[in-house]
Amino acid sequence: LARDSRTKAYTAVKVVKSASQYTETAIDEIKLLTKVREGDHAHVGRSHVVQMIDDHKIVGIHGTHISMVFEVLGDNLLKLIIRSNYRGMNEALVKRITKQVLMGLDYLHTVCGIIHTDIKPENVMLTVSESTVKQWAAAGAQDDPKFKANLPKNLRERKQAPVKVEGLQKEGVKLTKNQKKKLKKKLKKANASGGGEKNGRAESITSDMSTE
């Protein structure tokens, strides 16, 4: 979690490891995210795709790191399902989520020429209120030991996904036994691996910095 010293807006910063294979992957990611950012602003689906605000390089003791600056998002859809004790969500909310995801995908396909090949609950991010972001920032500035524990996983160990859903509540309907087993197995696997990002590509930072 970071703050732009010019606009005073809070952002989420993804800092990539300096090894060449991670740098190459990050460069490809930036090319796609730039297409998303520079696409048709009037398209109704654009607001449902995560936006990269800026990108830059950071030179440190371990080499040069590519950094990407994003809007701040909350937990992913899987976390919402888990918090509902695997009850799922009611039909109206499922329709709302589905509509927003499809609108975002339409923007990616028709405007940006991008095909999303991994749609799943973990890759659907939920929006978060400005007041909540300010609470996270205040806790971080005070070196609150519970700060990291209370942050959404995508801010603790950065993993951005290109589709976001707005205005969700913790509501739901029951999942089948098979769906529950799959979700529990997925969560257990994630916990066993330490909850980090796939391939260890990125780590998050908390600071007050400019996105220049």
Residues whose CB falls within 8 Å of the CB of residue 117, separated by 6 or more in sequence, listed in order? none
Q: Determine phi and psi for 128, rounding to 5 degrees.
A: -135, 145
End-to-end CA, the chain? 16
Single out the catalytic residue among 28, 40, 54, 118: 118
Active site residue 118: yes
SS3 content of the chain, % helix, strand, coil (to 5): 45, 20, 40
The letter for the amino acid at 60 is G
Q: State the Cα–Cα distance between residues 198 and 201, nearest whole angstrom.
A: 7
Q: Which two tokens stand for residue 124?
A: 């659907």
Q: How far apart are CA 12 and CA 20, in angstroms?
A: 23
Residue 193 tokens, joined: 């691996």
Kindly provide the b/e burial profile for residues 42-79, where b requires at least 16 CB atoms within 10 angstroms of the residue's own CB: ebebbebbbebbebeeeeeeeeebbbbbbbbbbbbbbb
Catalytically active residues, by annotation: 118
